[in-house]
Structure 1
C-alpha cells in the first residue's frame, strides 16, 4: 500500500501535517538558538519557567516541560552552573525544591523570545490574519477535544474506548 493511500482522508492529512509542522518549526528554532549555546532542553525549560511563574517545584516544572524528573535535574544542574536558575528548598516539604530564574536569565529569555518572534514571522509570511483566525479556531477545538481525555464513544457498543 502506498503512503498516499494511508493519508488520503482530510483528517489523516491534518494530523500528519500538524505533526510535521510542529517538528520542523521546533527544529528551526532549535538551530537558531543553538548558535547561542542553548540546547532544546535548556531553552524550553527556561521558557516554561518564565511563562508559568517563578518558583515552580521541580516536579511541576518537569510536568510542564514534558520530561521525567531525572532528565529535568540534569538540565537544571547545567542551568544552575550557568547562573540562570537557582533551586531553593521548600520550607513546607523538605524533599521538594522550587526553581527560580535569576537576573542573569533575563537577557537569555529576551533572546529566546526575539528568536521565536523572528522564526514565527518567517514561517507565517503570506498568511492573512483571517486565515490565522480560522486556524486558531480549529486548533482550539482540537485542544479542547484533547483536554477531554483520550477516550471516544465506541459506536458499536456504546462504551468508551482508549485510543492507542
Structure 2
C-alpha cells in the first residue's frame, strides 16, 4: 500500500473516531453526563463480571488517578459502587448500581440509533473487510507493546 494511502487511512480513522464520539457526546448531553462519565458507564456495563479499578482504567484507556476521580463523581451520584476484593485489600471491584440501569439503557439506545444511522448504506461484506483491516493493524500495534 502506498505511504500516502496509509497516511490517509490513519488520518481518516482518527477523524472518524473523534467525529463519532463527538456526535454521541452531543446526543447524550441531555442526560447530564460528561463524555468521560458516560464512557466509564458504558465500559462498565459491557463487563460480564465486575472489573477491578485497574481493569476498568485499561478498558477505558485512562490512567488510574483519572479514573479514580471519575468514579468518585459517579459514586456520589449513586451510579457506581466500589467493593473491596477479599484477596487484595488495595484492589476494588467496580459495579453499576441499580440506579444506573435506566441511564445505561438510555445511553445504549442513543448509541444504537447513532450506529444505525452511521452504518446506513454500508454492506455486511464492506463492514467485515473494514473490521479485518482494523484487526490486522491492531495486532501489529500489539506486537509493538
Q: TM-score, normalised by structure 1?
A: 0.81
CA contact (8 A) 1:87 1:100 kept: yes
Q: Report how many residues are paired.
A: 143
Deviation at 1:60, TM superposition (A): 1.6
Deviation at 1:130, TM superposition (A): 2.2
Query: Which residue of structure 2 aligns with residue 85 of structure 1?
Result: 80
Greater RCO (CA < 8 Å, at least 6 residues apart): 2
CA distance, structure 2, for counterparts of residue 87 and residue 33 of structure 1: 25
Deviation at 1:52, TM superposition (A): 2.0
**More moved, 51-60 vs 8-17:** 51-60
CA distance, structure 2, for counterparts of residue 70 and residue 38 of structure 1: 19
Structure 1's consecutive aligned runs of 4 or more residues displaced over 3 angstroms after TM superposition are: none
Deviation at 1:110, TM superposition (A): 1.1
Secondary structure of 1:55's partner?
Answer: coil
Backbone CA RMSD of aligned residues: 1.5
Deviation at 1:55, TM superposition (A): 2.2
Deviation at 1:78, TM superposition (A): 1.3
> Where is the helix percentage greater, Structure 1 or Structure 2?
2
Which runs of 5 or more structure 1 residues have no equivalent in the other structure? 1-7, 151-164
CA contact (8 A) 1:54 1:99 kept: no
Query: Which residue of structure 1 aligns with residue 94 of structure 2?
Result: 99
Secondary structure of 1:64's partner?
Answer: helix
Which runs of 5 or more structure 2 residues have no equivalent in the other structure? none
